Amino acid sequence: MSSLKLESEKVAINNASQNIFNYLSDFKNFETLMPPQVTNWQASSDECSFTINGMATIGMKIIEKTPNSKISIISNGKVPFEFKLFVLITETGENSCIGQLSFESDMNPMLKMMVEKPLGNFFNMLAQKMKDIK
pLDDT digits (tens), the chain, 134 positions: 999 999 999 999 999 999 999 999 999 999 999 988 899 999 999 999 999 887 778 999 999 999 999 999 999 988 888 999 999 999 999 999 999 999 999 999 999 999 899 899 999 999 999 999 98
Burial of 65 (0-12, 13-18, 19+ CB in 10 A): middle
Q: How far is Cα of residue 2 from the mean position of the Cα atoms in its chain?
A: 21
d(C-alpha 105, C-alpha 119), whole Å: 12
pLDDT value, residue 37 = 86
Q: Quick one: which H or E segment has residue 63?
A: strand 57-66
pLDDT, residue 30, reads: 92
- CATH number for 68: 3.30.530.20
pLDDT per position as a tens digit, 97-133: 999 999 999 999 999 999 899 899 999 999 999 999 9
Q: Distance (Å, rounded) from C-alpha 89 to C-alpha 99?
A: 5
To the nearest 5 percent, what fractions of the chain are helix, strand and coil? 30, 45, 25
Q: What is the pLDDT of residue 80?
A: 84
What residue spans of the chain are helical by DSSP H?
17-24, 109-129
How much is the pTM? 0.94
Say whether 82 sits in a helix, a strand or coil: coil
Domain holding 86, by residue range, is: 2-132
CA distance 10 to 124: 9
Q: Tally the domains of the chain.
A: 1
